[in-house]
Structure 1
Amino acid sequence: MYQEPNYTETVSMRLSEVLADIGVDERIVLKRRRTWLLTESLKHVNNQLWEKDKSMLYYFGSQSEGTTTIGMESDTDALYCLNDFPVIQDWCEWIHGVPNLLMIQDNFVSPGYCLLQALRHDAPLPIDNESNQYFFRDRTGKLLLKQSIISGDEYLDTLELHGPARVQPGSHGYCDTDIVAALHCKTWPQKARQWLNQQGEGQWPSPEMKQYCNRTGCFVVPVGCRWSDYRQLEWRISTSLAERCLMLNINITQIRCYVLMKMIIQSLIDPQFENVISSFMCKTILFHCIANSHFNIWRENNLLSCLLLCLNLLYNNIINENCPHFIISENNLMRGKISSVVKPYILEILNNIINSAGVALLGIKCDDLGSRLHLKFYNLCPFKTSDRISVHLLYFTAGSISNLFLLNFFTLKNKSPYEAVQTLTNSISSSVNIQYGGLPETACHLLLPMYCTTLGSVLASININQHNTISSDVFKLMSLGLNTDVASSKLKLASILYCVKEMQKSDLVLSEIERSYGLQVVEPVCGCYRFELIFERSGFFAISDKHNEDVIQYATASCVRFLPCEIHCVPIELRYEMVRSTAKDRKFRTGNDIWMDNAVVDSLPYLYFLQYKVNSHLWKNNEKQSALSKLFRTIITEPNLGHRETAFNILGKCMEQEGRVRDALQCYLLSLNLRRRNNAAKIHICTLLSVLENFRA
């Protein structure tokens, strides 16, 4: 390696190629960003459509920035903003009728932190007569808000507490989500206002970026400085929206430099000295380097030099035990983080890395980066992982949409059909208030069709119950939502037609679904709960690598959900799923089991089940047996069924219709093996045994 005349440039290019192979290139970075920012927009738009509380969830950190890899196994960082308590910095910002909080930053408060003084909601004056567990009166008489106010939030209280964050556990391929609660202040922090006027050699950030950052205001997070006498009362000032803006406006070489810094910490420092140097410190160092160096140095063929620039600044910061926050420079991120015992060892490791001229990078095991780099110098091409990343991103978007509908429809489970119609109608009408353009408009287009489908299905259930027919309004609404994905909405239409005994029409819809359901392309999607996923369809890999959320309607099939208020659109065999739980079973439910009061089935098994039932009525025996065989084969071979136990249950009902009683019983037992509790298989077994007993008698 050292013998090459253009050594730095050669290493930089090989390193850039390796990072591109593992998904750190412009295309995949943009895909990651779009996926997470769209998910954020989906949640915001959904809250607007359903007129839910004003709280908002923001995604920050490496996932939404696109600065992670598969091997880094990065958690998702989210900020849950409670908008019930506006924070102000000046009395002129006071808002009538709400509990305002005045931000206090004086000489007694740690840099980068503040206190929050409670104000009256009827006049711009301090509260002086309030006394409860959420307030503390300081020695000057000010009534200050305690951090414990956050613990009263209904959503946050369902999550596991882990330091200042709540953790939403991931499982089976999903990363954990660290959720930090916060309050929002519309104005830029006073201590950071001088940053708006600073400009380094790199002329970065640009004036336009700083103007945007200024408009975002800031958050306050219930975390105090560990050295402060006010630790339980202090709130950390967070400029996360501004920092995300900065990260979204750096080039690919700067992103790769940041990723390499995190990999070095993770692979070469954390094994001996874990959590001493954080990713946020690395990001801050990158910001300082970009701002204070000429933009021309940040090129692919100069990546190694850029990395060494950042590592040298990190080295100097550790020597001085001072890493100034990029925006609030008085806030030293390294204060108290590096003990005198570990400091010389960390400096020695960094010094060796810096002086190795890139050779130390061969020791990075994350994503096999070291091995991949070694192979590159022998002109060997390791496999790329970008298609795997694209698959997970597309599935995540589809799953997020599915999960949002589950949460929304949970609020409808105890409503009458007429109340559900009114709620859904109001939600659809609320779409006119959405600010169109960009990701919010995309989010609205993804959400509204499924609301229309559900409204149409609820209306159909009312029609069937009253007149055993369906109105033209039902067909209009159903047509608006037929292309949410490949199958689920169309299957609802076929189910409605079956329930009004329109067998020929139902058969036509089912045939169309089967024609469009490419078995090597379409991936089943279930947002009801998290289970182990296996991605192996070549067509899904190809289409997800080339497209974004626009192919959800062609490449995914969500599970089909029927609310209790849609019961007359559901075949009798599937209605048992709505009463799957005994009183004893309900005690074993968790917060992830809210789908269990609905009838829920995966699209492909339901397609073949309906084909079996429809062809039975049409006296098409060959087609009926073919559908039964496909149903059985799908249950056994499809790896990504979220409701396999339900599929076994409806297969069992088909076996009963065929007179194959033992096979039916075996299906129910297999279903119970998959889900021991909250399973309608228990009802089917009892009913079947009762019928057998009566037959013998």
Structure 2
Amino acid sequence: MDFLSGNADIEAGFQHLCESVFVGLCQIVGTSALVAIRRETEDISESLRRRVANNDDEIIMESGSSKEGFRLTGSDYDLMYWPNNHRVIWDMSQFEYYFTATKTLILSDNIESPPGFTLLVLLTPTADRRIQSACVPVNDRHYISSSLFRQQAQTHHFPGSRVHGPCESGELLGVLEYDFAKCFASDFWPQSASSWIHRSHSWPRREVVDDIVRNGCHFVPIGHPAGLHEHEEWRISFSMAEHKLVHFMNHCQFLTFGLLKIFLKEVIDKQSNETKKLLCSYHMKTLVFWVIQQNVVPLWCPRNLLAGFWVCFKVLIKWVYEGICPNFFIPQNNLFLSKIHGSAQRSLFLQLNGLYEKGLVCLLQSSSIKSYIKCVLYNPRLSICTNEDRMKSECEHDIELFNAISYNGPPLTCNLNSCIKVLHTIGQMIGSPLSEYQILTLQKNTSDILQIMAFIFQNMYTNTGLNKPMYIADRRSCHMLKLAGKFGFVSDMMYIAMFYYKTFRYREALFITETVKVKLAQPGLMYGKYVNQERYTEAVGGQSWSTKMRQAVADNIKLITCICYNNELTLEQQCAFQYHKDALFIPLFVMLHFVEFLCYRHIDTTLAHAALEELQFLVHHDQGVFVPEHHRDISWEILGICHQMTGNLQAALDSYQQSLTQFPFNRIQNATEMRIHDLHIT
């Protein structure tokens, strides 16, 4: 900033302020280590999913701020998914790269479309009825209508979802907004973005550019409002390229991007209702890309953080004044064109200019940042440590890591050959250069796949009447589950208990549940994000992550909807499967008491009653620690099942009705209604 030059005291004070804001952003956005955990665990899981995907599978990619490494309050959860057996080509010469018996080809026709948009022509037949229904015949060609495709692609994965832009959008529990975009992929880089390849000299590096170009782009179903064919056009998406660019920012650049997102939400959007939401996070991302590439900021470091922010802010004001926000890959695509113009544009410019005239004091309007600014203003001699290793405790890093590992599970499948393929692929990946976070993620993925395989084996040979194959399958399943329990979470031992109950070994199952209860009673247990940090550090501090995972980390129980784990929940699994749910998620402590109740019913009715009372107390009185809010539907359901099995039909009815009032995360409402109907209570 020019006003700092020549004045050593002011410059030192400014650097002090930058360091304080840097520390604050590391607390809010995350240190470089936390961001690396989020990215690397997701990247390795995504790589595994792609490697094992069959031709007729859908490829799923997390996108948006979560993929980039942010965990800001109010951030969206974004997914892109596309059919693996469909590809978009840019000209007919690319036809030769595909075997059309296995790949449906689509041609991009952007002659009449605005920059960044295109029409899609179906070249070869498709078996996908949703795509067939979205086709519009024009002059002997079949164009895939983006508006029709959006309607056909809606899965209603969660209740209350709606079409918003190119996505199916909604809100979970009034807290988490989500966007699911079904799209198409191209293995080729668009010609209209070729200028970006040659423009990239200083940033990003040439090998990064080459990698981005090799991975092509995507097409999301939304047309340009000013285009001639708005309802048929598709937008070219560079989401995958953008993720790579964000990943190749240094941490100060990433924090500057985070500061811009916070400033947009907490300051710019609070100026007036007229201009609220005119700017979005994507504009901020585009802004940072341009500023980094144009090398306007000579040094991106903690002591220069606010200078980088201020440069970005000035460029943003210039863009709003001119009404032009050039897409980073196709500059001719003006991201402001249909949104920021007329009186709204003038109002937004005046508001931004007003903030600019206040200088960095305008950051005091940010509720998240102001305390880090004030602490320096009020204590100019305050010593600030910018060493990231000292900003977060060992336990805080572990919480981030184990929750990321739990979230980034293996591809869910109920096919034995697919499971074997996953294990084989994990074996190949372990031999490649990986970070410690990624190795640990694959270790947990292996544990999860072994559990799935164990129940598949058991289900394959049940009721065959062939004793020897059943005996062999049982031994294999037991071995797999015990192996999974040795290098998975503490909670993974519950799958052994579930297996023993399913195979009528009630006492063995209860021995396992007692072992699990002892482990769960440890004061240093980490369950999701709930942990006594001091006790956790005393118990496993300084030990390897693998040891911590086996001894002190627990998670919810995941039941794949197409695999039978126990007969009591078959109805719920079937109903969830009809809503395209891959798995039921059950709180660990609910499943623990449920298995105890089921086993004790065959051994000791008094102890069965005691287990039911424990379950009832947990479901009725837990404050979201051991029974998370989004898992209350299945928790009340299980309590109702237990009451129904004891003959207490009124208590069962009350529990089922409670289940129906919860957020239907597991999509088991139909099962609940069927159980209520079967009670025959008037």
Q: Deviations over 1:378-422 (max 9, x none)?
A: 4599xx9998897577446535649x65xx45xxxxxxxxxxxxx
Indicate how the Cα distance of structure 1 residues 480 and 145 shifts in structure 2: closer, same or farther if over 3 A, else same: same
**Does the 8 Å contact 1:167/1:176 carry over to 2?**
no
Q: What residue is the counterpart of 2:107 in the other structure?
A: 102
Structural mapping, 1:182-581, within 5 Å: 182-199=183-200, 203-271=202-270, 272=272, 273-293=275-295, 296-365=298-367, 368-378=368-378, 391=399, 394-395=402-403, 397-398=405-406, 401=409, 405=412, 408=413, 423-429=415-421, 431-432=423-424, 436=429, 437=432, 438=434, 444-445=445-446, 447-458=448-459, 461-462=462-463, 471-483=474-486, 485-486=488-489, 489-497=492-500, 502=505, 505-518=508-521, 520=523, 522=525, 535=530, 538=533, 554-559=552-557, 561=559, 566=564, 570=566, 575-578=567-570
Indicate how the Cα distance of structure 1 residues 577 and 41 shifts in structure 2: closer, same or farther if over 3 A, else same: same
- Once the 2 structures are TM-superposed, how far is the Cα of residue 425 of structure 1 from its aligned partner? 4.6
Counterpart CA distance in 1 for 2:312 and 2:608 is: 67
**Does the 8 Å contact 2:523/2:535 carry over to 1?**
yes
Residue aligned with 1:297, SS: coil
- Once the 2 structures are TM-superposed, how far is the Cα of residue 148 of structure 1 from its aligned partner? 4.6
Matched, 1:648 2:634: no
**Does the 8 Å contact 1:87/1:103 carry over to 2?**
yes
- Once the 2 structures are TM-superposed, how far is the Cα of residue 460 of structure 1 from its aligned partner? 7.0
Indicate how the Cα distance of structure 1 residues 270 and 327 shifts in structure 2: closer, same or farther if over 3 A, else same: same
Residue aligned with 2:176, SS: coil
Q: What residue is the counterpart of 1:29 in the other structure?
A: 35
Counterpart CA distance in 2 for 1:41 and 1:551 is: 25
Q: What residue is the counterpart of 1:694 in the other structure?
A: none
Counterpart CA distance in 1 for 2:530 and 2:508 is: 34
Indicate how the Cα distance of structure 1 residues 497 and 247 shifts in structure 2: closer, same or farther if over 3 A, else same: closer
Structural mapping, 1:70-219, within 5 Å: 70=73, 73-94=74-95, 95=98, 96-97=100-101, 98-106=103-111, 108-120=112-124, 134-137=135-138, 144-148=143-147, 150-151=149-150, 156=155, 160-172=161-173, 175-199=176-200, 203-219=202-218
Residue aligned with 2:244, SS: helix
Residue aligned with 2:86, SS: coil
TM-score (norm 1): 0.75
**Does the 8 Å contact 2:38/2:404 carry over to 1?**
no
Moved more, 544-553 or 505-514: 544-553
Moved more, 510-519 or 389-398: 389-398
Moved more, 472-481 or 204-213: 472-481
Q: What residue is the counterpart of 1:8 in the other structure?
A: 14
**Does the 8 Å contact 2:169/2:177 carry over to 1?**
yes
Indicate how the Cα distance of structure 1 residues 391 and 611 shifts in structure 2: closer, same or farther if over 3 A, else same: same
- Once the 2 structures are TM-superposed, how far is the Cα of residue 576 of structure 1 from its aligned partner? 4.5
**Does the 8 Å contact 1:671/1:681 carry over to 2?**
no
Indicate how the Cα distance of structure 1 residues 477 and 154 shifts in structure 2: closer, same or farther if over 3 A, else same: farther
**Does the 8 Å contact 2:15/2:304 carry over to 1?**
yes
Counterpart CA distance in 1 for 2:484 and 2:403 is: 20
**Does the 8 Å contact 2:637/2:656 carry over to 1?**
no
Question: Which has the greater radius of gyration?
Answer: 1
**Does the 8 Å contact 1:224/1:230 carry over to 2?**
yes
Structural mapping, 1:54-65, within 5 Å: 54-65=57-68
Indicate how the Cα distance of structure 1 residues 627 and 103 shifts in structure 2: closer, same or farther if over 3 A, else same: closer
**Does the 8 Å contact 2:117/2:233 carry over to 1?**
yes
**Does the 8 Å contact 2:525/2:531 carry over to 1?**
no
Residue aligned with 1:250, SS: coil
Residue aligned with 2:267, SS: helix
Counterpart CA distance in 2 for 1:214 and 1:208 is: 10
Indicate how the Cα distance of structure 1 residues 428 and 69 shifts in structure 2: closer, same or farther if over 3 A, else same: same
**Does the 8 Å contact 2:162/2:169 carry over to 1?**
no
**Does the 8 Å contact 1:12/1:301 carry over to 2?**
yes
- Once the 2 structures are TM-superposed, how far is the Cα of residue 259 of structure 1 from its aligned partner? 1.8
Q: Deviations over 1:664-694 (max 9, x none)?
A: 567535523422564499689959x9xxxxx
- Once the 2 structures are TM-superposed, how far is the Cα of residue 211 of structure 1 from its aligned partner? 0.9
Counterpart CA distance in 1 for 2:366 and 2:286 is: 22
Residue aligned with 2:335, SS: coil
Counterpart amino acid of residue 103 in structure 1: S
Counterpart amino acid of residue 6 in structure 1: A
Counterpart amino acid of residue 356 in structure 1: K
Q: Deviations over 1:165-205 (max 9, x none)?
A: 233534237622212232222111112222212245xx111
Indicate how the Cα distance of structure 1 residues 349 and 606 shifts in structure 2: closer, same or farther if over 3 A, else same: closer
Residue aligned with 1:11, SS: helix
Counterpart CA distance in 1 for 2:461 and 2:511 is: 19
Q: Deviations over 1:96-121 (max 9, x none)?
A: 33442232343x43122223344357
Counterpart CA distance in 2 for 1:650 and 1:112 is: 54
Structural mapping, 1:586-601, within 5 Å: 591=579
| Structure 2 unmatched runs, 5+ | 127-131, 385-390, 661-668
Superposition CA RMSD, Å: 4.7
Counterpart CA distance in 2 for 1:5 and 1:317 is: 29
Counterpart amino acid of residue 520 in structure 2: Y
Counterpart CA distance in 2 for 1:171 and 1:317 is: 35
Counterpart CA distance in 1 for 2:24 and 2:138 is: 57
- Once the 2 structures are TM-superposed, how far is the Cα of residue 242 of structure 1 from its aligned partner? 1.5
**Does the 8 Å contact 1:28/1:390 carry over to 2?**
no
**Does the 8 Å contact 2:526/2:536 carry over to 1?**
no
- Once the 2 structures are TM-superposed, how far is the Cα of residue 483 of structure 1 from its aligned partner? 4.5
Counterpart CA distance in 2 for 1:327 and 1:565 is: 45
| Structure 1 unmatched runs, 5+ | 123-130, 410-422, 526-533, 690-697
Q: What residue is the counterpart of 1:693 in the other structure?
A: none
Indicate how the Cα distance of structure 1 residues 541 and 237 shifts in structure 2: closer, same or farther if over 3 A, else same: farther
**Does the 8 Å contact 1:81/1:184 carry over to 2?**
yes
Indicate how the Cα distance of structure 1 residues 81 and 609 shifts in structure 2: closer, same or farther if over 3 A, else same: closer
Moved more, 604-613 or 340-349: 604-613
Between the aligned residues of both structures, percent identity stands at 18
Counterpart amino acid of residue 269 in structure 2: D
Counterpart amino acid of residue 333 in structure 2: N
Q: What residue is the counterpart of 2:664 in the other structure?
A: none
Indicate how the Cα distance of structure 1 residues 151 and 466 shifts in structure 2: closer, same or farther if over 3 A, else same: farther
TM-score (norm 2): 0.76
Q: What residue is the counterpart of 2:129 in the other structure?
A: none
Structural mapping, 1:619-638, within 5 Å: 630-631=614-615, 633-638=617-622
Counterpart CA distance in 1 for 2:113 and 2:562 is: 55
Indicate how the Cα distance of structure 1 residues 652 and 539 shifts in structure 2: closer, same or farther if over 3 A, else same: farther
- Once the 2 structures are TM-superposed, how far is the Cα of residue 624 of structure 1 from its aligned partner? 7.8
- Once the 2 structures are TM-superposed, how far is the Cα of residue 288 of structure 1 from its aligned partner? 1.3
- Once the 2 structures are TM-superposed, how far is the Cα of residue 306 of structure 1 from its aligned partner? 0.9
Q: What residue is the counterpart of 1:672 in the other structure?
A: 656
Counterpart amino acid of residue 319 in structure 2: N
Residue aligned with 2:485, SS: coil
**Does the 8 Å contact 2:185/2:218 carry over to 1?**
yes
Counterpart CA distance in 2 for 1:111 and 1:562 is: 44
Counterpart amino acid of residue 555 in structure 1: V
Q: Deviations over 1:209-234 (max 9, x none)?
A: 11111111122223222222232333
- Once the 2 structures are TM-superposed, how far is the Cα of residue 74 of structure 1 from its aligned partner? 1.4
Counterpart CA distance in 2 for 1:522 and 1:486 is: 11
Aligned pairs, number: 624
**Does the 8 Å contact 1:464/1:500 carry over to 2?**
no
